[in-house]
Amino acid sequence: MLLNSPEGAYSLPGQKEQKTAIIVIDDFGNNARGTQEIMELPFQVTVAVMPFMPHTVNDAKRAHAAGHDVIVHMPMEALSGKKHWLGPGAITTELTDEEIRRRVHAAIDNVPYAVGMNNHMGSKATVDPRVMRNVLQACKERGLFFLDSHTNYRSVVAKIAGEVNVPSLENHIFLDDIHTRSAIQKQFMLMREHLLRHNVCIAIGHVGTAGKITASVLKEHMEKMSEEQIVFKRLSEFLKPVNKTMSNL
Ligand SMILES: [Zn+2]
């Protein structure tokens, strides 16, 4: 059954399917709570850094030096909330095509070592085909993949990414929407359950209010899950061509 899943291409018949977990941590760039702890994790994660923040460049350099992936955490318009909450250089739906592309390029220029992009908020922007076509086209020009944080189930990212020919993925689980240790623990149980049925699970957590709790639960569960032969990968590692993975088996 697992071989029929979208991730089945990563397995060979007769081989025990490798279970891959990918952890993405959002909202770097502000030296928010948990930053230090995530940087020092003994496992590699993907670090999403907001552009044009006081610690953007420093956080991206630190993450890269620690062996983590760096991606741009692009502020994008939400259905609710004030636009100025989004932060500088945000993508909003009233911008022209040219301005959207200019802002995406400027954000990529501002985050050293970025190999991909995901959306900060974005429940309005990610359902707008014109906006996403421009965002994804700019990503393509810079060789970046796009991870849809899936803040709106009507997101057009996968469809438009297919048309523009940009590698795209979406996350399966949010780890810390509720900021308590027990709630975050529960999300890790959901991750394990997801991996019983699928070969890959992408989960998103955050630095910020609950950042230190997220980091400590993360460390504990990553250790346990590694003992259970679940492999943690960075997004760029996971997106390497299938043939390379197959030749390693
Ligand atoms: Zn965010």
Residues with CB under 5 A from ligand 1 (ion): 26-27, 120
Ligand 1: centre distance to CA 49 (Å): 9
Ligand 1: centre distance to CA 171 (Å): 13
Taking residues 36-54, what's their average pLDDT?
96
CA distance 104 to 166: 15
Three-state secondary-structure class, residue 124: coil
Ligand 1: centre distance to CA 89 (Å): 14
Ligand 1: centre distance to CA 28 (Å): 8
Contacts of 240 (CB under 8 A, 6+ apart): none
Which of the residue ranges 11-15, 128-132, 186-190, 237-241 would you say has the lowest mean pLDDT?
Answer: 11-15
Is the confidence at residue 2, as pLDDT, over 70? no
What is the four-CA torsion angle of 3, 5, 8, 13, rounded to 10 degrees?
Answer: 0
Ligand 1: centre distance to CA 26 (Å): 5
Alpha helices per DSSP H over 145-241: 157-164, 181-197, 211-227, 235-238
Ligand 1: centre distance to CA 79 (Å): 15
What is the four-CA torsion angle of 30, 32, 37, 38, rounded to 10 degrees?
Answer: -60
Ligand 1: centre distance to CA 204 (Å): 10
Ligand 1: centre distance to CA 1 (Å): 34
Ligand 1: centre distance to CA 178 (Å): 15
Ligand 1: centre distance to CA 245 (Å): 31
- Per-residue pLDDT tens digits for 143-157: 999 999 988 999 999
User: Whole-model pTM?
Assistant: 0.89
Which of the residue ranges 86-90, 95-99, 115-119, 144-148 would you say has the lowest mean pLDDT?
Answer: 86-90
